[in-house]
């Protein structure tokens, strides 16, 4: 299963008010494993950058003025995404901007059904708890120390780690996936194809009750010194 973890940076909150995308970052996953393939593009928004937005991502007019317009990169973005499911934190925000830009450029839009919203997943799993990307990094021990300002590619890479934790831990189907080339698994994850689980840091407690253990010992005693359970390998 191919998924694209995606993030955007914009000039504001509403495309209907003239705000535009200024950065797209995306990371490819295959069967919940990062493949190393990414997409990253800065975009000229054709408008001044509001001070409030600049303070969030640090992308100013001078930096963006020579970057391509969305119309020039829109098809390359769609080619990278392909038919993959999109994984986005607060998907409604990014999807409305992406579809606004795609429609404006005369390109096919992306159905909202193709977006998996990690914000909604986090709120269902941890009701009442903070569900921002930074809060989830703290919860799962994901290193976000490089995130001094928002950046689409860095945030996508961080979100990919958070997403894998949200759906059951990193590489949740590593040993169960079928039809996947083991060499690709090893290359994508940096692990060997003969990966084995590590020993438990703490042994599981015994499940036998004291009464059951005593009954077993009495049963073995009746069998005499030749009982198999009394022999040591």
Catalytic residue IDs: 150
Which residues partner with 42 through β-bridges? 23
Say how far residue 113 (Cα) sits from the centre of its chain.
Answer: 18
Cβ-contact 55, 136 below 8 angstroms? no
Token output for 195: 């990966």
Contact assessment for residue 199 and residue 210, using Cβ atoms and an 8 Å cutoff: no
Residue 39 in contact with residue 66, Cβ under 8 Å?
A: no
Q: Are strands 85-88 and 2-10 parallel, antiparallel or unpaired?
A: parallel
Query: For residue 21, how far is the Cα from the chain centroid?
Result: 21
d(CA 129, CA 179) in angstroms, rounded, equals 38
Q: Taking the chain, what is the end-to-end CA distance rounded to the nearest angstrom? A: 47
**H or E element that contains 190:** none
């Amino acid at each position: 299963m191919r998924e694209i973890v995606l993030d955007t940076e914009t000039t504001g909150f509403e495309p209907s008010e003239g705000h535009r995308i200024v950065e797209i970052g995306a990371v490819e996953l295959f069967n919940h494993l990062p493949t190393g393939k990414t997409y990253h593009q800065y975009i000229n928004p054709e408008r001044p950058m509001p001070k409030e937005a600049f303070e969030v991502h640090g992308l100013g007019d001078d930096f963006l003025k020579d970057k391509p317009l969305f119309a020039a990169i829109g098809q390359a973005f769609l080619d990278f995404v392909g038919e993959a499911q999109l994984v986005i934190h607060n998907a409604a925000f990014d999807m409305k901007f992406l579809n606004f830009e795609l429609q404006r450029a005369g390109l096919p839009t992306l159905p909202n059904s193709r977006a998996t919203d990690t914000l909604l997943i986090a709120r269902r799993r941890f009701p009442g708890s903070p569900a921002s990307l930074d809060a989830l990094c703290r919860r799962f021990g994901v290193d976000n120390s490089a995130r001094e300002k928002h950046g689409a590619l860095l945030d996508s890479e961080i979100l990919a780690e958070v997403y894998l934790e949200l759906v059951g831990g990193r590489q949740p189907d590593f040993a169960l996936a079928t039809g996947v080339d083991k060499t690709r698994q090893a290359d994508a994850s940096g692990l060997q194809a003969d990966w084995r689980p590590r020993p438990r840091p703490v042994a599981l407690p015994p499940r036998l009750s004291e009464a059951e253990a005593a009954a077993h010992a009495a049963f073995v005693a009746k069998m005499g010194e030749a009982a198999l359970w009394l022999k040591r390998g």
